[in-house]
Amino acid sequence: MDFEIPQPTRDLLDALDAFIEREILPLEEADDNRRFFDHRREWARTDFERGGTARPEWEELLAEAKRRADAAGFYRYGLPAELGGQGGTNLEMAVIREHLAHRGLGLHNDLQTEHSVVGNLVFVELLHRFGTPEQRGRFVEPSIRGESGLAFALTEPEHGSDATWMSTRAVRDGGDWIINGSKRFNTLGASTTHDVVFARTSGEPGQAKGITAFIVPLDAPGFDVPYYWWTLNMPTDHAEVTLDDVRVPASAILGEEGEGLAVAQTFVHENRIRQAASGVGAAQYCIDRSVAYARERTTFGRPLASRQAIQWPLVELHTEAEMVRTLIHKTAQRLDEVHAAGEPAVTIGHLVSMCNYRGNRLVCEAADRAMQVHGGIGYTRHEPFEHIYRHHRRYRITEGSEEIQMRRVAGRLFGYL
């Protein structure tokens, strides 16, 4: 196996860096936009009087960065050519996500919102793969441009990773479906216009078949957002949602009736591998910053870097980052091969889970260690480590907690799957 990043991908990273220097950094520095990234970031981004959601000026800044990235040909990179993209592979996207996270906090790749100058447009890919011609025409291009958007409504007040036991139900009524239930931590952003709601339409609790994905407009009668959950990292986009006799036509079904979990699994597989790559990039950033600080900082007449108590934890993290990075590249390449062969991605789900839970844990440990190495200044919001920790801590829970990821690996290891 060739472990080197291919030259065309390295050239792409160089072009991305040049674009960021030319277009994105000046935008980040204009009009006091630094307030969204320095020690004021949480307050500058959050409208505390409007439920803790994002301020419009923050959302508009992200939108402008996306417009510039799209005009430069980077934003759609991972999409197929027919959608204006370059067909970026999962391996290439993993390398790109790590590279951008390794640059640190900035408008080029905001951790909290998953905004990036190279879009992680998983919903667009889902629509392209599972959507009807009408759905693709209605949502794909507007979603890319930020004129409309989809959210993902799977988690419920009583059900998280045990999605096959979900309580939300949809029943036929003539040519329509009536949906009743509730969803939790539904990521509804400023551009969200529709929600992909998963509901049981047949079968018994615990069965994978019988769950259907519906595209539901947020303004549908009976669709209500009573409040948003305030989270460790603010602003929030985690809404509580209730559906009371929400009526949608049969054309609202995304994918096949009763096969909604196939849509969900496609979403989480590609998203998990990219999250893991971002985690490694952010972890390496924390490690590198800590090493540089330790070399500069003098204590008791000697550089902090000369202390083994400082060296060894960073050596452990640096070694872990190298191992997880290699596993991510291998798994992303296998995911590309599986897709090309038309095989179900679940065949390598255990590898994706390995990458995800180790990558998420790694970045949390690296951010915590960076705070420790930097001492009191590391604990302040004038350094980025607390922000990195608070953001990535969520991924040890969301889209399958690390316990669920380990359960999947155990199932493969012990022959239960």
Work out how many domains the chain is built from and give that number: 3
* CATH code of 292's domain: 1.20.140.10
Mean pLDDT for the stretch of residues 158-165:
90
Give me Rg for the CA atoms of the chain. Answer: 22
My answer on whether 48 and 173 are in the same domain is no
Q: Produce one character per residue of 135-145: b if its CB has 16 or more CB atoms within 10 Å, e if not.
A: bbebbbeebbe
Q: What digits encode the pLDDT tens for the residues 84-126?
A: 999 999 999 999 999 999 999 999 999 778 899 999 888 898 8
Mean pLDDT, range 10-21, rounded to an integer: 97
What distance in Å separates the CA atoms of residue 193 and residue 317, rounded to the nearest whole number?
A: 41
Does residue 83 lie in a domain region? yes
Query: Strand (E) positions, 67-220?
Result: 109-110, 115-116, 150-153, 169-173, 176-187, 194-200, 211-217
* CATH number of the domain to which 21 belongs: 1.10.540
pLDDT at 413: 95
One domain, residues 71 and 165: no
Same domain, 270 and 407: yes
pLDDT digits (tens, 9 = 90+) for 203-261: 999 999 999 999 999 999 999 999 999 999 999 999 999 999 999 999 999 999 999 98
What is the rounded average pLDDT for all residues in the chain? 94
- What per-residue confidence (pLDDT) applies to 269? 78
**Same domain as 299, residue 231:** no
Return the bridge partners of 78, or none.
none
Per-residue pLDDT at 315 exceeds 70: yes
Instruction: Report whether pLDDT(1) > 70.
Output: no
Q: Which region among 261-270, 348-357, 395-404 has the lowest average model confidence (pLDDT)?
A: 261-270
Query: In this structure, are residues 249 and 174 in contact, taking their beta carbons and an 8 Å threshold?
Result: no
Residues 153 and 96 in one domain: no
Quick check: is 128 in a domain? no
Kindly state whether residues 267 and 408 are assigned to the same domain.
yes
Q: Over the stretch 118-160, which tens digit does the pLDDT of each residue have?
A: 998 888 988 998 999 999 999 999 999 988 889 999 999 999 8
Q: 194 vs 64, 168, 250, CA distance in Å? A: 22, 17, 16
Does 118 lie in the same domain as 66? yes
Q: Which of 198, 231, 254 finishes a domain?
A: 254
242 plus 302 within the same structural domain: no
Same domain membership, residue 73 and residue 206: no
For 91, residues 6+ apart whose C-beta sits below 8 A from its C-beta are 329, 332, 333, 336
Same domain, yes or no: 44 and 164:
no
Residue 229 within any structural domain of the chain:
yes
236 assigned to some structural domain: yes
**Residue 339 and residue 361 share a domain:** yes
Phi (first) and psi of residue 240, to 5 degrees:
-90, 130
Measured distance CA(281)–CA(287) in Å, rounded: 10
Question: In this structure, what CATH number is given to the domain that contains residue 154?
Answer: 2.40.110.10
Residue 56 lies in a domain: yes
The residue among 137, 140, 135 whose CA lies nearest residue 251 is 135
Q: Tell me if 283 sits within 8 A of 253, measured CB to CB.
A: no
pTM of the predicted model, to two decimals? 0.94
Q: Name the residue range of residue 192's domain.
A: 149-254
pLDDT of residue 129: 87
